Amino acid sequence: MDTAGRVEMDKNLMDQMKKIVRVAQPNLKVLVVDALTGNSVVRQVEGYDQAVGVDAFIVTKVDADNKGGVFLSLSKYKRPVLFISNGQDYDSLQPFKAKEWVSAYLQRPLTAPLF
């Protein structure tokens, strides 16, 4: 379920999400986050995780972020990043390969994009 950038402090949104989870009883809850969020993703993940639980992530707009801080922040949760995306359609989704990301992160000049 993509929250379309809505913030976790929106009580009505959280109540709707709780109801959806209660009724649908999903096996997997994936939070879609924006790579440009950077370290602020921590507050977002904690809000959604507390409300409905988060099992995994999809990170969008990785082509616009040359720092990669969102991945470092997400690593705190020890949950997988399933996919990354450079665009806004399903064809732009790619499996996230952590080893490749770490290698690219450590070997790039600071101004070079990661993906």
Q: What is the structure's pLDDT at 44? A: 87
CATH of the domain at 32: 3.40.50.300
Q: What is the structure's pLDDT at 38? A: 75
Q: What is the structure's pLDDT at 107? A: 74
Domain that holds residue 54: 11-107
Q: What is the structure's pLDDT at 58? A: 92
Please give the average pLDDT of every successive group of 10 residues along the chain, which has 115 residues.
61 87 94 84 89 92 75 91 85 87 70 53
- Let me know if residue 114 belongs to a domain: no
Total of domains in the chain: 1
Which structure tokens are listed for 33?
């986050």
The full DSSP string for 26-64 is -S--EEEEEGGGGGGHHHHHHHHHHHT---EEEEE-GGG
- Let me know if residue 2 belongs to a domain: no
- Let me know if residue 80 belongs to a domain: yes
